[in-house]
Amino acid sequence: MSVAPDIRPAHVRRLGRQPYEPVWRAMQRFTDARDAATPDELWVVEHEPVFTLGQAGKAEHVLAPGDIPVVQVDRGGQVTYHGPGQLVVYPLLDLPRLKIGVRDYVCRIEQAIIDTLADWNIEAVRRDGAPGVYVADAKIAALGIRVRRGRTFHGLAFNVAMDLEPFRRINPCGYQGLQVVALGDLGGPSSIDGVAPQVLEHLAAQFGLALSDAPAPVLAPAE
C-alpha cells in the first residue's frame, strides 16, 4: 500500500470536548453540502460518554448501559464507546478525488494508527475481518465509517488515557469478551494533546494531505 502521491490541502478543526450528536449532525451537514471543490477536513474531538450503535448494530450487544446514553447512528459496524480520554478523528475526505477506494481508505487509517504507536515502540496490528488496531489481543483503536457519494464521514476512536470500564457494559464492536486497552496503560502519552499531532501527521502522510488549522465548525445544540 503506497502513500498517496499528490499533496492536497486539508483543514484541521479542533472541537475540544463535545457531546456526540451535535458533532454527528454537523458531519452530515458538511458532507451533504460539500462539492467537488470543497477541501477535505479532519475533525479532532473528545466526546462526552456515549455508546453508539452502527447500522448493523444489534441491541443485545449493549449489555448494561446504565447512565450512559445509547445513540443509533448511520455508520457501519456494531456498538462502541466514546468518552473522555479517547482521541476521535473524523476524516471528511473526497475518495474519488484522492483516487482511493473504501477498502484502501480503511487500511490507510489503520496504518496511520499503527505508525503512531510505533513512534512509542508499541507493536500494533490489524485483523482481517475485524477493522481496527490491536496490541497483542486487545483493541486500542476502533473504526466506524460512512461513505456518501464518495465522501467519508465518521472515523476513528483511539483509546489514549481513559476509563475503560464502560467497555465492559457492551460487547465491543459486537465481539463478546473483546479486550480493550489504552495507550497510557502501555507506557505511551497520557493526554490527547500528546498524541493528536502524531496521529494527524500520519493521517496526512497516508492520504497526501497538507494540513492547516481552521476554526471549529458551528454545532447545533444537543436535542
Using CA atoms, how far residue 45 sits from 35, 61, 83, 91, in Å, is: 24, 25, 10, 11
Could you say which residues of the chain have pLDDT below 70?
1-5, 173, 222-223
pLDDT at 4: 47
Q: Which domains does the chain have, with CATH numbers?
A: 8-213 (3.30.930.10)
Active site residues: 173
Q: For residue range 121-137, what is the model confidence (pLDDT) as tens digits? A: 999 999 988 889 999 99
Per-residue model confidence as pLDDT tens digits over 183-200: 999 999 999 999 999 999
Q: Are 77 and 56 in contact (CB under 8 A)?
A: yes
Q: What confidence score (pLDDT) does residue 173 get? A: 67
Q: How far apart are CA 126 and CA 141, in angstroms?
A: 10
- Give the burial class of 210: count Cβ atoms within 10 A of its Cβ; 0-12 exposed, 13-18 middle, 19 or more buried: exposed
* Cα within 13 Å of Cα(75), Cβ side: 23
